[in-house]
Chains A and B, each alone.
Chain A
Amino acid sequence: MRLTLTEEKFEFDFPEARELYKFDERDPLSPNFHGVSMQAVDVMAEFPNFQLWIEIKEFQPSEIEAMKKEGDQQKKGNNVHNKAHLTRNLKHKFRDTFLYRYCENKLDRKVVYICLTNFDDALNGYYKRELLKQLPAGKASVRWSKFLLDKSLLFVVNVDSWHRNFEDRFGQCKKIL
């Protein structure tokens, strides 16, 4: 199945997916219209044994500059680092998608959450650690008997690391120029 996201300029081709669609679809005429005032990941891919949630987050230089400034101001005050800003958006998108899927009664298979960034592999490794804490992934409380997300199924990658690791497993991800 192939999905082209014109706005985000990405194309996905997953031969073994049962369904592949834009999850935060804003077009009311589309059968996959999201229609709820909640945040949402960009892409949903339904495979027989798992579901792939893909969020595309390509940071622009201006955003990074703004975050650096915000981070400096916050450090002086309440000690919130700008890394919190980087991951906040991805955290909320995941949690709202989780609630939406719960209401759809579609949390029946393992969730794999992939954040597609334009950072290098070293920064993505750091970014993943921060996101794991913020989601939170794994058993975050002794009172929990379920996870929001299995820790080992959160991946923060760029297009190159997608090619190296996911192409054989899920399919192609291409940046449209």
Chain B
Amino acid sequence: MITRFKASNFTVFTDLDVEFTSGINVFIGENGTGKTHLMKAVYAAGCLIDKKIDTPLDRKINGVFAPNSIGRLVHRAVGRNSGSISVYRRMSNESKERSITLRLTNQNKSEVKQNGWAIDDNVEAIFIPVKDMLANAPGFRSLFSQKKLSYEEIYLDIIDKAFVPIARGKLSPEREKLLNILNQAMSGRVIEKNETFYLKNKNGELEFPLLAEGFKKLGLLYRLIQNESLTHGSMLFWDEPEANLNPHLSQTVVKILIELSKMGVQIFISTHDYVLLKEFQLAITADDDILYHVLYRDEKGEISHTATRVLDELSPNAIDNTYSRILDDEIQMGLAAL
């Protein structure tokens, strides 16, 4: 599991130290507080655990963030010309942490140090971005490989993961349970033919571009469960699962995430959504492992972090504060009538 992320003068962070839980990590915070940056940095490191992936961290970070040059990722402030990130992880049978560190300068110099980070094992890291990509999958990979698209690498990565063929043989009962939940929500199952994804149900096959955006998201999740990209030991990073999703489907998403976590998938999500958080609060039991993180700007304007296992204790909570402000405005309008 990923245990910790430290950043010094990296993108929006001046000095950040975040510890994770092995279950579900939920990030909230206003726009511009670095939720996606944190998840992308940890994801980039997570992609390189498998020794077979022969990409250095600086190159992966560059692909995932897609800056004009890698030195642009150094936090811009007077007197600062270098930055670093470190990601830590621990294997279930070890007490000592392994780590990977990237140091950068604003002159585009980079240095990577590993402390037993890569191993000879198939460890999957999956990043689901806010924008749907499955509908655009046909031809995307070849265009990307010719460098004709200036997309962040996470988009190519997620399409690659979706195209991983389905394993032969019977599905495990837990995997079948998850697919049944999605089946019910989407009224169908996902199939792939000639680089095109379809939702198949009793009415026939409907190609992904014709699906509602929310179903495209669930369809992607279906595919990742079906082809075992999401399995014990994997990491799932999901940026704003609520985007394009009708709130009534949030319950399904939360159910799936909790089940995946029980299967041993470590989960990182960012959200701006009250409904999603509330669904977690209602669905979580004492046996589930969840940690709510908040990123916020402190009085010096620097990004700070705090975490709690109890949602109601999360502070500052930009989502709740917005609802409070709306309620206050409504009350004040009413009081004006007195």
Q: Does the CB pair B334–A153 fall under 8 Å?
A: yes
Interface hits, B258-301 → A, CB 8 Å: 274, 278
Q: When chains A and B are docked, how far (Å) is the Cα of A157 from the Cα of B327?
A: 9
B residues sitting closer than 8 Å to A (CB atoms) are 274, 278, 312, 320, 323-324, 326-328, 330-335, 337-338
Shortest beta-carbon distance, A124 to chain B, in Å? 6
List of A residues within 8 angstroms of B274 by Cβ: 122
Q: Does the CB pair A153–B327 fall under 8 Å?
A: no
List of A residues within 8 angstroms of B327 by Cβ: 121, 124-125, 157, 161
Residue of B nearest to A162 (CB): B331
A residues sitting closer than 8 Å to B (CB atoms) are 49-50, 110, 112, 120-122, 124-125, 150, 152-155, 157, 160-161, 164-166, 169
Q: Does the CB pair A153–B323 fall under 8 Å?
A: no
Q: Does the CB pair B328–A161 fall under 8 Å?
A: yes
Say whether, besides A121-B320, A122-B323, A125-B323, A152 and B334 are in contact (CB < 8 Å).
yes
List of A residues within 8 angstroms of B338 by Cβ: 49-50, 110, 112, 153, 169
Q: Could you say which of A121, A125, A161, A169 contacts B335, with CB atoms under 8 Å apart? A: A169
Q: Does the CB pair B331–A161 fall under 8 Å?
A: yes
Q: When chains A and B are docked, how far (Å) is the Cα of A50 from the Cα of B334?
A: 13
Secondary structure dominating the interface of B = helix
Q: Does the CB pair B333–A152 fall under 8 Å?
A: yes
Q: Can you spell out 25 A-B residue pairs with CB atoms less than 8 angstroms apart?
A: A110-B338, A112-B338, A120-B312, A120-B320, A121-B327, A122-B274, A122-B278, A122-B323, A124-B327, A125-B326, A152-B334, A152-B337, A153-B334, A153-B338, A154-B334, A155-B334, A157-B327, A160-B324, A161-B324, A161-B328, A164-B324, A165-B328, A165-B335, A169-B335, A169-B338
List of B residues within 8 angstroms of A121 by Cβ: 320, 323-324, 326-327
Q: When chains A and B are docked, how far (Å) is the Cα of A2 from the Cα of B334?
A: 25
Residue of A nearest to B321 (CB): A121
Q: When chains A and B are docked, how far (Å) is the Cα of A165 from the Cα of B320?
A: 16
Q: Could you say which of B278, B324, B328, B337 contacts A153, with CB atoms under 8 Å apart? A: B337
Q: When chains A and B are docked, how far (Å) is the Cα of A49 from the Cα of B327?
A: 24
Known contacts A110-B338, A153-B337, A164-B324; 5 additional CB pairs below 8 A are A121-B324, A125-B323, A160-B324, A164-B328, A169-B335
Say whether, besides A150-B337, A153-B337, A125 and B330 are in contact (CB < 8 Å).
yes
Q: Does the CB pair B323–A120 fall under 8 Å?
A: yes
List of B residues within 8 angstroms of A152 by Cβ: 333-334, 337
Q: When chains A and B are docked, how far (Å) is the Cα of A120 from the Cα of B312?
A: 9
